[in-house]
Amino acid sequence: MSNQLTVRPLDLKAATQTMSNRVYIFDTTLRDGEQSPGCSMTVPEKTRMAHKLVDLGVDILEAGFPIASDGDFEAVDAISREFPWVTVAALGRACTLDVERAAQSLKHARRPRIHTFIATSDIHLKHKLKKSRQQVLDEATAAVELAREHVDDVEFSAEDGARTDAGFLEEISKAVVAAGARTVNIPDTVGYSAPREYAEIIGRVVKALGDSAIVSVHCHDDLGLAVPNSLAAVEAGARQIECTINGIGERAGNCSLEEVVMVMKTRNDLYPYSTGINTEHLYSASELLSSMITFGPQPNKAIVGRNAFAHEAGIHQDGYLKEKSTYEIIDPKSVGVPEGKLVLGKHSGRHALHKRCEDLGFSLTKSALDSLYHRFTALADRKKGVMDEEIIALIGEREAKHAVGD
């Protein structure tokens, strides 16, 4: 349990200064994401999504949980055949049946990864598994050894890791690495941790494992901290982030791939890490996923939401039209959004309206613009936004009036 953690201050700088700054992106859209409500995908849909994730440049593509369903097995198999050069991961609990099934589903992958997990927190041991720490440790190492008989690349996850006793977490991490795991994932399965605490947990495991394994993070967004927790973990020495497109996943979802990647890219001065992500595919990846599941990102979602690059307030629009960098920190094109949008509404000013009229092919005198602006704000007051057609109609109305007056 978290309140039993003995948190000792850790010299993160000393622990991480010799490490590479390359952070691996482990995409679990097709596994953790797909297993959440409204997100089921068929095998052909998963294969299409996998194609996009490959274009995007994810390092590891978790394609399913093969023991869970035949569909999951087929998805891992299909993706392994179609994209043999990609590291494809299959999930399985730390038991023979699951590990064997995962291995079988990866038969055609050239770079297969078996990802096996067991819960390690006392709360899960007591109420869910009804097992002792020793039993869990033995089952974890046995599963990793079995997985290593099939593949070289084995990842172990300590489920509910963020609420696991720090000493036990260190012990099991060392044991699975000795058994052959190359990646040790410490998930915040229930989205309970916070950046400072999570950094301490991760830092301690990083220090214990040294360069014998990559430490990975897998954060849930129950408190809206999945992205900040993942970044804090990277600062503490984690070098793999598990994440999903649009942040889909169990309950409130996983760490959003597009957000965590764009923080490291946009604020590289603060987060001097690199990924292999081709960011100009982010928006289309988000759109493709939205077209296959039952919901898209909320309009105000960072990076990929409909309003992420839309400016409505008059002061903002005026500044944006003079120099984009006044209100835009990311070039929309860098994430595959054609360009920033000015939304014309009741908060818009003359400058934006004038620009839109010009874009629509109308050149107005100052007095014509003043008169149009007056009628525009009257209309905008009654509406959530004004469409281009309505602006054209307003211009037309004035011309009609003049014709009558003449």
Q: Which is nearer to Mn ion, 293 or 394 (CB)?
A: 293
Closest separation in Å from C-beta 249 to Mn ion: 6
Quick one: tokens of 91?
């999930």
Question: What residues between 7 and 26 interact with Mn ion by CB under 5 A?
Answer: none
Stretch that binds Mn ion, among 30-38, 46-54, 368-376, 395-403 (CB under 5 A): 30-38
Closest separation in Å from C-beta 163 to Mn ion: 14
Cβ-based burial of 92 (10 A; exposed 0-12, middle 13-18, buried ≥19): buried
Residue type, 17: Q
Closest separation in Å from C-beta 250 to Mn ion: 5
Stretch that binds Mn ion, among 27-35, 203-211, 293-301, 350-358 (CB under 5 A): 27-35
Stretch that binds Mn ion, among 29-37, 163-171, 321-329, 361-369 (CB under 5 A): 29-37
Closest separation in Å from C-beta 159 to Mn ion: 8
Distances (CA, A) of 79 to 52, 63, 264: 12, 7, 29
Total binding residues for Mn ion by CB under 5 A? Answer: 1
Is residue 32 a contact point for Mn ion (CB under 5 A)?
yes
Q: Which is nearer to Mn ion, 244 or 348 (CB)?
A: 244
**To the nearest 5 percent, what fractions of the chain are helix, strand and coil?**
50, 15, 35
Sign of CA dihedral 319, 323, 324, 327: negative
Cβ-based burial of 3 (10 A; exposed 0-12, middle 13-18, buried ≥19): exposed
Q: Which is nearer to Mn ion, 66 or 180 (CB)?
A: 66
Q: Which is nearer to Mn ion, 32 or 258 (CB)?
A: 32
How far, in Å, CA of 56 to CA of 46, rounded?
Answer: 15
Measured at the CA of 48, the angle between CA 262 and CA 97, to 5 degrees, comes to 95
Residue nearest to Mn ion (CB): 32
Quick one: tokens of 368?
């014509």
* Whether 236 contacts 186, CB under 8 Å: no
Question: What residues between 354 and 393 interact with Mn ion by CB under 5 A?
Answer: none
Q: Which is nearer to Mn ion, 32 or 200 (CB)?
A: 32
Q: Which is nearer to Mn ion, 32 or 312 (CB)?
A: 32
**What letter would DSSP give residue 343?**
P
Closest separation in Å from C-beta 188 to Mn ion: 9
Interacting residues with Mn ion (CB under 5 A)? 32
